[in-house]
Amino acid sequence: MFCLPTSALLPAFRRLTLAGLGLLPLAASAQTILAVSRTQAAAGATVTITGTDLNKLTSAMINGQPMNIAKSSYSSVDVIVPVAAATGRIRLTSATGTALTGTKLGITRQSSAVSYGQVSTSVTGMNAAGSYSTPAMGDIDGDGLVELIQGQGDGTILVFEQTAAKAETFGAGTLLKNADGTTLDVGSFAKPTLADLDGDGLLELLVGEDTGNILRYEQTAATGTGALAFTKTTLFTNPFGAATASVPNGGSYPRPTVADLDNNGLLDVLVGSNDGTLRRYEQTAANAATFTALGQMKLANGTVIDAGDVDKPLLTDYNGDGYLDMLLGNRAGSIVLYTQSAANSATFQLVGNLTTNGTTAMSLSGVGGYAAPAITDLDGDGLLDLFVGNGNGTIQRFEQAQSATTPTLLAGALTNPAPLPVVLTSFTGQSLATGNVLRWTTASEANSDYFEVERSFSGQAFVKIGQLAAAGTTSAAHSYQFADDATAAGTSYYRLRQVDLDGTSTYSPIVTLAASSAAVARPAKPVAYPTVFTSELNVALPGAEAQAATVALLTADGRPVYSRTVQLGTAPQALAELPTLAPGVYLLRIATAAGATTQRVVRN
């Protein structure tokens, strides 16, 4: 299996099953996902996704949170793990559709502590107009600085920007605006959260208000002044419905939070309310702004979750164990922690109250109660910062304590891979007049059996074109080289499949090579693959029009065992009626009007 050291240019490879690398089609999609470089990553880490048509993406998301795209090409994209990300699958969206990674990306944390010591009693130095502050955190304008969004009792929303990267201070607050320049105002008791529901690369503010509606505001631009100007639609109209009309104020003061609870690729919106219960709504389709009501949230034993009046939920993965966690602030000023009762479960189990010192429950009753949580890592120290709004309009900051040990993944949440046998430090290619040359280097290997080289002319369907023995077990660096002299005009895509002695395999990133001008000028050359075959042998003539060819298979001493005339073209075709052959080395001779070639192949 491949693994990269932290000092390498390539990201770390984790053990991935073939099923885990697959694409879940959510809509008609041009892009595909072939592999993901990690199964676990910390906030700020780079994750490389390889596939096809990845240079046209409008967004990358995890649980509705945008992931910054560091760089992209046709065959790969590098995305950055958001600070407040929760474990989940990555969704890539372009104008033509969406693609979803087959497995979750586990978000690792430096600490698993539920103790948060107080850092500040007033982060912004401003009280909300009309009190009742509700914060949300994110980099709204894409400049690398955290914005603190502060919903206010009078229905307006303030925004404060971090004064510098990793700074623990914010600049002066300004009011968010509508696209027409007027002040964004939901009426009263604005309770916002940030997400990108539709995958268009523009953030949305989902804002609950006094009467129970949840309004949706979307940025007019992803950067610049337009990032702080929003257009409005209604997401839910009093989502609590007639069935709860008899509950006093059951639908008032809703605060939404977003994640994919059941790992099905559709975002869930959980909505807190005045009566202390939670409702769940799930997207009707990927990137849809329409939702299906799925009822009240419950504990694993069927009891309706009620953490206290005016509950304000926040979904995250505070300890990096692979389970989604839910923080529920309430009217009394406490924050109650729940965690999923099982992997991908829509039910939760109670963990207990957050504390300030390991024993004393966190309480904002002295500042008016109505605790409203939001998280980020403001100072970049790897510990989560908890920002809590309250009844008097201030926002207090608490920072997660450093736990003595790193968290252990709970059973069923994620597969926690063992140390990986192969440390791949580079995989590169070069296009020459004589063909393409691939080179890769390993820093160490353990129980490594062999490397298979796979090629594709489309970037989607790969076939094996060669195999090299691995070093087995060694702590020394090893270099490998493979020459492909059957390149075609245009672009070729290559990847490695590294196979362990136990049969486990892992794929490398994809290397993309355009044929050199000298190579393109050469006459088209027939190719056959896989060069090591069992029952099926394919032939093709890359980069050329279909033409008649005679294909013959001979033993190593020149005795013919198979011959057939075929129409040979760019599309590979399996040789028909190939006889049962004894294992060994054979010579495959392909003759066209341009001449004949002979290639060595091996029957397993």
Residue pLDDT, tens place only, 338-348? 999 888 899 99
CA nearest to 77, candidates 101, 47, 97: 47
Q: Provide the pLDDT confidence category of residue 357 given band limits of 50, 70 and 90.
A: confident
Summarised one tens digit per residue, pLDDT across range 102-115 is: 888 888 887 888 88
Cα 232 to Cα 533: distance, rounded to the nearest angstrom: 60
127 versus 585: the higher-pLDDT residue is 585
Across 207-218, average pLDDT = 90
**Secondary structure string (H, E, C) spanning 270-297:** EEECCCCCEEEEEECCCCCCCEEEEEEC
What lies within 8 Å, CB to CB, of 408 at 6+ separation is: 321, 416
Across 278-283, average pLDDT = 92
Across 37-52, average pLDDT = 86
Long-range contacts of 524-527 (CB under 8 A, 24+ apart): 524/488, 524/489, 524/594, 525/485, 525/486, 525/597, 526/486, 526/568, 526/590, 526/592, 526/597, 526/599, 527/465, 527/486, 527/599
Q: Would the pLDDT of 22 be above 60?
A: no
Q: Provide the pLDDT confidence category of residue 163 given band limits of 50, 70 and 90.
A: very high
**385 near 162, Cβ under 8 Å?**
no
pLDDT value for 404? 45
Tokens found for residue 505 = 């395999």
**Secondary structure string (H, E, C) spanning 562-587:** EEEEEEECCCCEECCCCCCCCCEEEE
Cα-based torsion angle of the residue sequence 157, 315, 305, 341 in order, rounded to the nearest 10 degrees: 180
Cα 401 to Cα 111: distance, rounded to the nearest angstrom: 7
Q: Would the pLDDT of 242 be above 50?
A: no
Q: Would the pLDDT of 27 be above 50?
A: no
26 versus 569: the higher-pLDDT residue is 569
Q: Out of 161-175, 246-260, 578-592, pick the least confident.
A: 246-260
Q: Would the pLDDT of 241 be above 70?
A: no
Angle among Cα 477, 513, 67 to the nearest 5 degrees reads 80
pLDDT value for 289? 85
Task: Give alpha helix (H) positions in 484-564.
Answer: 517-521
Beta-strand runs (E) in 184-290: 191-195, 204-208, 214-219, 229-236, 256-259, 268-272, 278-283
Tokens found for residue 238 = 């009093």
**268 near 281, Cβ under 8 Å?**
yes
Mean pLDDT, rounded, of the chain: 82
Across 458-470, average pLDDT = 77
Q: Would the pLDDT of 19 be above 60?
A: no
CA nearest to 42, candidates 138, 107, 112: 107
Q: Provide the pLDDT confidence category of residue 191 given band limits of 50, 70 and 90.
A: very high
244 versus 85: the higher-pLDDT residue is 85
Q: For the chain, what percentages of helix, strand and coil (3-state, to nearest 5) are there?
A: 5, 45, 50
Q: Provide the pLDDT confidence category of residue 28 given band limits of 50, 70 and 90.
A: very low
Highest-confidence segment of 1-15, 240-254, 305-319, 457-471: 305-319
Tokens found for residue 204 = 């949305």
Within 10 A of 328 (CB to CB), how many other CB atoms are there? 29
Q: Provide the pLDDT confidence category of residue 248 given band limits of 50, 70 and 90.
A: very low
Summarised one tens digit per residue, pLDDT across range 535-580 is: 788 887 765 678 888 999 999 888 899 999 998 876 778 888 888 8
**203 near 121, Cβ under 8 Å?**
no
Cα 402 to Cα 384: distance, rounded to the nearest angstrom: 10
**Edge-to-edge order in the sheet of strand 214-219:** 177-178, 229-236, 214-219, 204-208, 191-195
Looking up tokens 């073209």 gives 569
Q: Provide the pLDDT confidence category of residue 323 given band limits of 50, 70 and 90.
A: confident
**49 near 76, Cβ under 8 Å?**
yes
Q: Out of 366-380, 418-432, 494-508, pick the least confident.
A: 418-432
CA nearest to 440, candidates 425, 462, 453, 450: 425
Give the DSSP H or E segment for 254.
none
Q: Would the pLDDT of 87 be above 80?
A: yes
pLDDT value for 516? 57
Across 234-240, average pLDDT = 72
**194 near 63, Cβ under 8 Å?**
no
pLDDT value for 240? 56
Q: Would the pLDDT of 355 be above 80?
A: yes
pLDDT value for 460? 63
Q: Provide the pLDDT confidence category of residue 126 given band limits of 50, 70 and 90.
A: low
Q: Provide the pLDDT confidence category of residue 79 given band limits of 50, 70 and 90.
A: very high
Q: Would the pLDDT of 409 be above 80?
A: no
Tokens found for residue 228 = 């702080």
Q: Provide the pLDDT confidence category of residue 24 given band limits of 50, 70 and 90.
A: very low
